[in-house]
Structure 1
Amino acid sequence: MSKDLPQSQQSEEIDLGQLFKLIGNAFNNLFRFIGSIFNKLFLAFVWLVFFVKKHVLKLVIAGVAGVVLGMVLEKTSEPVYKSYITLKQNYDTGENLYNAIGYYKSLVKQEDISTLENVLGIRTVEAESILDFQIEPAISENQKIKEFDDYLQTLDTALAKTVEYKTFLKNTNDYSHQYQQITIKAKERNNFKTVFDRIINNINSNAYFKREQEKDLKELKQQALAVSASLIKSDTLLAVYQKAIVKSAENNNDFQAQITIERGNKSSTKEFDLYTKDLELRQELVEIQRKIDDKEHIIEITSSKQDSGTIDDKKEFFGKSISPKKYYALILTMLTFIALLAINFIKFLEGYKDKI
């Protein structure tokens, strides 16, 4: 048995050596694979540089042709006028608002002029001139970050750490933002104040939102009455205590007449406590009144450009608004580039034609 033991140890050493060799080979293959990817990417980049260099004149000509085309279309095409308003939602009206705009948009797309003029209360000429309805949240990136921070404040600390900003934006609907911008595009420079007023009135007259508004206003007014009553009692109590202090002073009772405020140990007189409470009640009453003012309107206009509209000659390119000249220059340059790539690819495939 003593002779079999060294043979067993040697066998185990051989197995471990083979294992480490396999692991080493696996890592070598992995690194070679990654290196080959970077090598292919570098070769593709070099090929692309030389491809662009070879066809740069064609691409420049396409870009110039796009600029010229954009200038011609800008001069000859009918102008498009844009009117818009920015709304503040004091209730969760966003979904209804977006559905309404979507409905008007579909009527324009279907060219259902009669229904459009009846729904919006406008003339046939005005209805025929409308090209599109649009709605989008009027919010900046900084405001989105602030909303995200406010949302995190409502969550448990452990749960808040698991929520990412991108996930928050993905799960946030556009209509949930308080400020929204509605845009009307038209062929004629018309005043669409009537249209915007009708859109707002349709939301303000919604039965559900009116009931919610009535309940909120009733509750806030009751709170205001309760705070006002407490304020009157606080003022009365403060006046009584001040009279008591004056009377004590007249009777030469110095101990009762002293007013001491020590911030360190937070000691104060009853008069100071009553005065502080009075200020808090007044501030609460102001805040309640502000809420009442906000709830007076379900939605309201904060800014507008609806008198005669402005010319909208911008084009959308990957979410960015650019001039027609830049737009057509980029489009023609990209189309030319794709066409040249396609021709080069076909020539590459023709090299394998005889091998098939």
Structure 2
Amino acid sequence: MAENQLANNQNSSDEIDLGQLFQLIGRGFNSIFRFILRVFLYLKRNVYILIGLVILGLAIGYGLTQIISKKLKIEVIVKPNMESKNYLYDVIDEIQSKIIAKDTLFFESIGVENIEFSGLKVEISRVVEEDNTENDLQYLELLQSFENTDAIADILRAELQNKSSFNHRITFFYNNPEIGNEFAKRLMDYINTNEYFDKLIMVYRENASSRIEANQKLLQQVDEIITNYTNGLAVERNNSLSERIVLDNQEQMNIADLFEYKNLLIKDIETKKLELEESDEPVSIINFGKSQVVQKAFFAKKIILIPLVLVSLFFLISFLTYLNRKSNEISE
């Protein structure tokens, strides 16, 4: 009997707890609904004011966009040569400091006359390249075929220099479209004017030219050896010839190695010619862009920003007014 009574009390207690829980949930939904209703009534009472503020903000923003000139920019994609990356960043910082200081003498010395410093700015950033992990792995596998050759050192040195020397973007900002293009060209000429790198480029080009000339002589000798061997095969076609040839009574050479050596000489000549073409200046210009308007983010545009500011101020004033009224009620 006592056990049945305890079970009944526990069931009734559970029912009471569930009832209280449902009541709390209902009160929560009612509070949310009342809050939404109050916000709706607030917006309904002030809808004309809000519409007026939006229209006023759009008009002010449109007027400012017509009065204030658009900011322009030119983007130049460059590639530093011969470890000139640090120099490139330092000289960009130097130019920007001259702009901040409004150093007219400096800009006149590089050929920029009657400069307007309003809106002028120079920035530099690294061009982020796509991840080509799969292609890099295939290239490493290809390099294994050159591991026992003399060309592997030069190939690895060139590739390491290429991987550590990213392309960079120099951005010139300005307001006056009449001086923008000339301003960017004069500054690029100034960046590529450096006595140290001029001497280094001269030595570098002389070494590359000498290497090309020496390789071409070796290539001519290899071609003569291959030609003589081919002629020998034609004359002694009926004789049993081995796969190896003898040069001036010296040790035998594998004809397959000779062809491989020829291909390496050709590749080295092509690489050095490409280096000569690329190493003409301390900083190679890959692409000199055209003048373009600076595109701002949607909410950063004046025609959108000003209405948002006006509406936000209205909400802030309304909230402060509400707090002031409540505080007066409590004080009374």
Same fold (TM over 0.5): yes
Do residues 234 (structure 1) and 216 (structure 2) align?
no
CA offsets 1:188-245 (integer angstroms, 9 cap, x no match):
523643x334323333332332344344334433433443343223212211211221
CA offsets 1:68-102 (integer angstroms, 9 cap, x no match):
22321222234545445333322443443344344
Secondary structure at the aligned position of 2:190 is classed as helix
The equivalent residue for 2:241 is 256
Secondary structure at the aligned position of 1:128 is classed as coil
1-structure distance, mates of 2:116, 2:195: 31
The equivalent residue for 1:178 is 167
The equivalent residue for 1:86 is 77
Do residues 121 (structure 1) and 116 (structure 2) align?
no
- Unmatched runs of 5 consecutive residues or more in structure 1: 1-42, 155-175, 260-268
Secondary structure at the aligned position of 1:301 is classed as strand
Q: Given residue 241 of structure 2, which amino acid in structure 1 is its aligned partner? A: Q
The equivalent residue for 1:281 is 265
CA offsets 1:28-74 (integer angstroms, 9 cap, x no match):
xxxxxxxxxxxxxxx99x97998599549466655444332232122
2-structure distance, mates of 1:208, 1:51: 70
The equivalent residue for 2:232 is 244
The equivalent residue for 2:197 is 209
Secondary structure at the aligned position of 1:189 is classed as helix
The aligned length equals: 264
Preserved CA contact (<8 Å) 1:83 1:192: yes
Preserved CA contact (<8 Å) 1:131 1:185: yes
Q: Given residue 287 of structure 1, which amino acid in structure 2 is its aligned partner? A: T
Secondary structure at the aligned position of 2:123 is classed as strand
TM-score if structure 2 supplies the norm length? 0.60
Do residues 196 (structure 1) and 197 (structure 2) align?
no
- Unmatched runs of 5 consecutive residues or more in structure 2: 1-30, 141-164, 245-252
1-structure distance, mates of 2:212, 2:123: 37
Query: Deviation of residue 131 (structure 1)?
Result: 2.9
Secondary structure at the aligned position of 2:179 is classed as coil
TM-score if structure 1 supplies the norm length? 0.57
Structure 2 counterpart of 1:336, from 311, 314, 319: 311
Query: Deviation of residue 109 (structure 1)?
Result: 3.6
Secondary structure at the aligned position of 2:241 is classed as helix
Query: Deviation of residue 282 (structure 1)?
Result: 0.9
Alpha-carbon RMSD across the aligned residues, in angstroms, is 4.5
| Structure number, greater radius of gyration | 2
What does 1:71-150 correspond to in 2, within 5 Å? 71-112=62-103, 114-124=104-114, 127-128=115-116, 131-137=119-125, 139-140=127-128, 143=129, 145-146=131-132
The equivalent residue for 1:303 is 287
Preserved CA contact (<8 Å) 1:62 1:333: no
Preserved CA contact (<8 Å) 2:172 2:184: no
1-structure distance, mates of 2:38, 2:214: 80
Q: Given residue 215 of structure 2, which amino acid in structure 1 is its aligned partner? A: V
Query: Deviation of residue 315 (structure 1)?
Result: 5.8
Secondary structure at the aligned position of 1:302 is classed as strand
The equivalent residue for 2:12 is none
2-structure distance, mates of 1:121, 1:76: 31
CA offsets 1:275-297 (integer angstroms, 9 cap, x no match):
34322321221112112211122
Once structures 1 and 2 are overlaid, which stretch shifts more, 277-286 or 239-248?
277-286
Q: Given residue 337 of structure 1, which amino acid in structure 2 is its aligned partner? A: S
2-structure distance, mates of 1:70, 1:199: 35
Preserved CA contact (<8 Å) 2:79 2:166: no
CA offsets 1:151-197 (integer angstroms, 9 cap, x no match):
xx99xxxxxxxxxxxxxxxxxxxxx742323314133523643x334
2-structure distance, mates of 1:74, 1:101: 31
Q: 1:116 to 1:188 in 2, by over 3 A?
A: farther
Q: 1:135 to 1:94 in 2, by over 3 A?
A: farther
Secondary structure at the aligned position of 1:280 is classed as helix
